[in-house]
Amino acid sequence: MMLTKADLKLRKSWERKKRDPKRGHFYGYIVEVPSDMADMKGLYRGFERPEGLRGKDFVQELASLALEWGDQRFAQCFRALFELGIVNKQSHSFTKKRGPHVSSLIESAKDYAVAQVRVLRGRNPNLSEWEACAQVAEDLVWEATSFEAAIEQLRQASRRARPHKGKPARG
């Protein structure tokens, strides 16, 4: 599809925003905090591990604390890291595995983006799906290899989210 002047303007804005080093990355969020862990909620800082944090150092420090204090809770934490697959048993480096209390932001973001496309089209019935997706892709700086790919991802998500209007299945 040929981009209009308005689309080109949106593309330039999307590219500029995408290059912005201040733009943060957030890939998920906690769905539910167990009641016995409410005191930890204030310490939660998102899913990005600090750059300098090394799994090997963390695991070794937990083992040292377990021995130094003689406290089984440190040892249990140490073992849990391996059992849950958070830390690789061989290299002691962190894996990318996430727990069951995390919801993927990718799916949540798609749902939000689709809702935004519907809102735009609801406000302006003359707005095409392409134009609405282009505006949302630019506004949200949708993560994709190109502006056109971002629009296409949103169009596909929008189409999948539409209610099915076919014949009901026979049972």
List, for residues 121-156, the tens digit of each pLDDT value: 999 989 999 999 999 998 888 888 888 998 999 999
Residue of 5, 10, 20, 17 lying closest to 134 (CA atoms): 10
Angle subtended by helix axes 129-140 and 5-19, to nearest 10? 20
pLDDT at 126: 92
67 and 107 part of one domain: no
Residues in the chain: 171
pLDDT at 144: 83
Please, are residues 152 and 143 in contact by the beta-carbon 8 Å criterion?
no
86 and 114 part of one domain: no
Residue 6 lies in a domain: no
pLDDT at 94: 85
Please, are residues 10 and 138 in contact by the beta-carbon 8 Å criterion?
yes
Q: Is the pTM of this model over 0.75?
A: no
149 and 126 part of one domain: yes
Tell me how far apart the alpha carbons of residues 150 and 51 are, in angstroms, rounded to a whole number: 28
- Spans of the chain below 70 pLDDT: 1-2, 21-34, 41-50, 101-106, 163-171
Mean pLDDT of the chain: 80
Phi/psi at 128 (nearest 5 deg)?
-75, 165
Residue 132 lies in a domain: yes
Lookup: tokens for 168: 């009901």
Strand runs labelled E in the chain:
28-30, 102-104
